[in-house]
Amino acid sequence: MKNETKSSRGPELIARKNRVVNRRTVLGAIGGGVVAAALGDRLWPLVSDSRAQTGPSSVDMSRFGGSTGARPGFGTLGDYVFLSPTKLGGGAHAQDLQSGKTMAWIEYWNYGDPCAIAHHIAAYPSADPRKGFEFINSTQGGANVLIYGLPTQIKERGLLDPVWGQGNRLYRVHYDGQQMNLIEDVAETTGVGLGVHTVIYPDATGFAAADGQKDVAAFFDRPPLPTLAKDDVALTEINKGQKTKVQMAFGADWIGRESTGSMEANWFNGGKLRLTRLVKARETGLYDLRGNKGNKIDWEMVPMAEYLVYTGQLPGDAPRKLCGLDAVVHHPGNRYSAMVIRMCSAAIILDRTTWEPVCCLHMPEGSPGNLPIRKVSSNPDTWEVEFDDIKCVGHEAGFSPDGNFFTMMNNIRQNNMPVFDTSDPDPRNWKKITFVKDPAWSGDYPSPFHLCFSMDRSKMFVSVLSPKPAKSAVVAVDTKTWKIIKKFENVGPDAQTMSVTYDGKYVLQIFSGFQRLESGVFVFTQDTLEPVGYLPNFGGHHDCVVVPTRTEHLLNSRCTTL
């Protein structure tokens, strides 16, 4: 096979025969396969093979062996509940890490959602999750089901319309100690339909959600749990009590300096980002953002698919206005939140005590790190940020548990992670101080993707994405030097988010293949960075969270990081 030159191209979204597919084939062959079988109540065994190389030590996870030295039972991982959504399976399930059993599961199509793509998940803390806990699960739907190359007739059979098939739901679910109960579709009760990231507030009094197809972020309260009814009672009768309310909502638009030129010039030659406070209809008390209402592009930007936007390959009603307001993460101090802007590789810092934006952090290497944001009009309140240029796109982001640092992924044209010092009480003084880099992060792939921090804050863990069917990696970064100190390579296809056990012992890295490849959870130790094994995790997953048992656990949960 001919060698391929690296470029700044992104991944395929729909299966096509081109250079990207060919490279996937090559990488997939290199990755190797899993040959170990599940061993009852034990983890799948592996033998770590540290390969001599310069730089950080590396462990090739494609090598499995028959050693019995690393076969701990499930109870070794601690007294925790591991929660994960099932992506195209359309639901979520909770796994008891002591026994390995699935404690309970839910599938949203059972409740009349014909095309639920269970996307991201966040759990509120519970003193005893086995007796009950509450979580929020966003779902996609509509045309998003068509981007995976499935030979589906779901559209032809009319299941994507009207609003019930369009997804963009925020399901509020409660596990009652025996089963999972759907208690509210927040998208229906508020009119705000968002299908991407969900994150709990640091004080557990609410959550935020965002959607990069609509460029909308919203902030919600947390009403008390209703009195739950039996299964034979209609869903509309279950929750007659207080419903979730929107505390604030924002929409964003990109206005390119060369908005009538080429698609690439529209973003990379600079322009301004406009943030607008959204208001609900006076007549209904609801926002008008359910289903695909407000979508600027027809399907989500899958990892690194910003390339498809700025080259005109992703259709929609308003792709030139897209900025990719895709996520929100919270500073541990519980005052500031960062609204992540993918197309600009930036984050607008919002003061949640006033609901006013404070500044904008700009991520690319060679760009100013902290940009001013100014209010340009009222009724509705509108703010703008000026960008001289956009050197690259970005993706996920997060704050360290102590709130002293913030980082985000630069992708495609730059593959690195800027690190901001966020210890100053005024975000306008937050400064870009260094970058996490790896010589291997060049060209298209591999790319830093998701992150989390160890409980002692000494390490940051980063999933490193390679396109399927190649296997992705996960690396450990020293948070004093911001250097990579360990690599686990060939972990599994499509490594996504990770979670830590709150006793500081283990890291759980989920991988899924996105839809139809192998899936599981790779486990390694937080302190010594030793591989432990694999947990079975069924159905193809996109996110995961260890259910917190104390509010302070949220600082290492789906609250401060993505």
Q: What is the mean pLDDT of residues 455-473?
A: 94
Share above pLDDT 90 across residues of the chain, in percent, rounded to a whole number: 73
Q: What is the largest CA-CA distance in the chain?
A: 68
Selection from 98, 56, 95, 55 nearest residue 77 by Cα: 98
Residue 33 has pLDDT above 50, yes or no: no
pLDDT level of residue 42 (50, 70, 90 thresholds): very low
Q: What residue ranges do the domains of the chain occupy? A: 19-556
d(CA 305, CA 11): 6
Instruction: Work out whether the CA dihedral 98, 99, 104, 108 comes out positive or negative.
Output: positive
Residue-level length of the chain = 562
Residues 206 and 217: their CA atoms lie apart, in Å, by 14
Question: How many Cα neighbours within 13 Å face the side chain of 250?
Answer: 34
Q: For residues 352 and 27, which has the higher predicted lDDT (pLDDT)? A: 352
Amino acid at residue number 359: C
* Residue 383 pLDDT > 50: yes
Band of pLDDT at residue 39, cut at 50, 70 and 90: very low
pTM given for the model: 0.89
Instruction: Collect all residues with Cβ–Cβ distance below 8 Å to 517 and sequence separation of at least 6.
Output: 468, 469, 493, 494, 540
Q: Which residue is listed with tokens 């310069």?
A: 54
The mean per-residue pLDDT over the stretch 248-269 comes to 96
Q: What is the pLDDT of residues 270-291, one digit of tens each?
A: 999 999 999 999 999 999 999 9
State mean pLDDT over 351-367.
98
Select the CATH number that applies to the domain covering 19-556 from these four: 2.30.30.50, 2.130.10.10, 3.90.550.10, 3.60.15.10.
2.130.10.10
250 has pLDDT over 50: yes
Reported as a pLDDT band with limits 50, 70 and 90, residue 134 is very high
pLDDT, one tens digit per residue, over 515-551 is 788 899 999 999 999 999 998 887 778 899 999 999 9
H or E stretch covering 139: strand 133-140
User: Which of 46-55, 119-128, 130-139 is predicted least confidently?
Assistant: 46-55
Q: What percent of the chain has pLDDT over 70?
A: 86
| pLDDT, tens digit (0-9, with 9 covering 90-100), for 94-103 | 999 998 899 9
- Mean local confidence (pLDDT), 32-48: 32
More confident residue, 148 or 311: 311
pLDDT at 173 over 80: yes
Band of the pLDDT at 555, cuts 50, 70, 90? Answer: very high
At residue 303 the predicted structure's pLDDT band, cuts being 50, 70 and 90, is confident
What's the pLDDT at 457?
98
Q: What is the pLDDT of residues 408-456, one digit of tens each?
A: 999 999 999 999 999 999 999 999 999 999 999 988 789 999 999 999 9
pLDDT value of position 419: 98
**Weakest mean pLDDT among 49-63, 343-357, 434-448, 461-475:** 49-63
Secondary structure letter of residue 261 according to DSSP: S
pLDDT the model gives residue 264: 96
- 182 — pLDDT class (breaks 50, 70, 90): very high
State residue 447's pLDDT score.
95
Both tokens of 401, joined, read 């548990």
Q: Is residue 148 scored above 90 in pLDDT?
A: no
Three-state SS at 235: helix
The secondary structure of 168-234, three-state, reads CEEEEEEECCCCEEEEEEHHHHHCECCCCCEEECCCCCEEEEEECCCCEEEEEECCCCCCCCCCCCC
Which tokens go with 379?
A: 């009724």
410-438 b/e with 16+ CB inside 10 Å = b? bbbbbbbbbbbebeeeebeebebebebbb
pLDDT interval class at 240 (50, 70, 90): low
Residue 538: per-residue pLDDT: 77
User: Tokens 């010092």 correspond to what residue?
Assistant: 421
| Burial class (CB within 10 angstroms; exposed 0-12, middle 13-18, buried 19+) of 374 | exposed
Determine the average pLDDT of the residues in 33-57: 39
Q: Which amino acid is at 551?
A: T
pLDDT at 21 over 50: no
Lowest-confidence region among 52-61, 245-254, 504-513? 52-61
Could you give the strand order of the β-sheet that contains 325-330, starting from the edge strand earlier in sequence? 325-330, 336-341, 346-351, 356-362, 370-372
Backbone CA torsion sign across 257, 262, 267, 273 = positive
- DSSP-assigned letter for residue 289: B
